[in-house]
């Protein structure tokens, strides 16, 4: 049994989505930013930074989302990855980890739009990070060309990884200037795996509004 430690609307959604895409049996352990649960010594033994996701699997624990997806692909869902020696292996790994490039700007925007008190927020930082976030999505726009998925060979865990970050990015930048990204996002969010994960995600406690900013000011 795979146990996923999860907080709604966070990086752990990537793993939740993947589990549904791969049809892997799992148990969800919900946590919250409220209180001290993520700082409890028992949780820190699973995730030393006190963050999600953390996965208990095969008698051990993994706590980085890209590492979790790589491991689960290799051990349980090879069709959703690209094995060593595959012509798309390099691009697959590149896009899988690009999800974190997107997420670092999401983290800054979340902090400045949501976590900080209004009087402590910086409009300059908000605008700069929105522009930087938009540029990361421009990279996806260019790569998609006329394909349905990020790799020519079809849907993969890389789509889940960058797709989950893009799903959050639309709260800070508008996708209407990125038609390929917008169409790809629509295909992703129509997938049964995404819909099942969204239904299991849990009660929102972080992003309470649909939109917080705009890359063009």
pLDDT in tens, 109-166: 999 999 999 999 999 999 999 999 999 999 999 999 989 999 999 999 999 999 999 9
Tell how many helices (H) and how many strands (E) occur in the chain: 8, 4
Q: Is residue 6 part of a domain?
A: yes
Q: 5: which strand partners?
A: 29, 54
Domain that holds residue 17: 2-80
* Domain boundary residue, one of 48, 80, 112: 80
CB atoms within 10 A of CB 12: 26
State the first-to-last Cα distance of the chain, in angstroms, to the nearest integer.
Answer: 47
- Reported as a pLDDT band with limits 50, 70 and 90, residue 217 is very low
Instruction: Tell me the whole-structure pTM to 2 decimals.
Output: 0.95
Sign of the CA dihedral running 138, 144, 148, 151: negative
83 touches 21 (CB < 8 A): no
- Reported as a pLDDT band with limits 50, 70 and 90, residue 185 is very high
Q: Same domain for 145 and 121? A: yes
Q: Is residue 197 part of a domain?
A: no
Residues 95-122: b if buried by 16+ CB within 10 A, e if exposed: bbebbbebbebbebbbebbeeeeeeeee
């Amino acid at each position: 049994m795979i146990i996923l430690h999860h907080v709604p609307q966070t990086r752990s959604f990537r793993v939740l989505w993947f589990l549904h895409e791969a049809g892997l049996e799992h148990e969800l352990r919900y946590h919250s930013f409220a209180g001290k649960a993520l700082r409890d010594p028992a949780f820190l033994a699973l995730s030393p930074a006190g963050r999600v996701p953390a996965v208990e699997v095969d008698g051990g624990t993994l706590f980085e989302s890209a590492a979790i997806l790589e491991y689960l692909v290799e051990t349980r869902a090879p069709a959703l990855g690209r094995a060593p020696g595959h012509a798309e292996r390099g691009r697959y790994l590149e896009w899988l980890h690009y999800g974190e490039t997107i997420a670092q700007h999401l983290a800054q925007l979340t902090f400045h739009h949501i976590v900080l008190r209004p009087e402590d927020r910086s409009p300059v930082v908000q605008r700069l990070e929105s522009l930087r976030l938009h540029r990361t999505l421009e990279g996806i726009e260019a790569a998609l060309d006329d394909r349905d998925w990020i790799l020519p060979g079809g849907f993969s865990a890389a789509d889940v990884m960058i797709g989950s970050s893009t799903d959050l990015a639309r709260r800070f930048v508008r996708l209407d200037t990125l038609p390929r990204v917008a169409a790809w996002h629509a295909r992703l969010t129509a997938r049964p795996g995404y819909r099942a994960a969204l239904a299991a995600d849990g009660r929102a406690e972080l992003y309470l509004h649909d939109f917080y900013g705009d890359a063009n000011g």
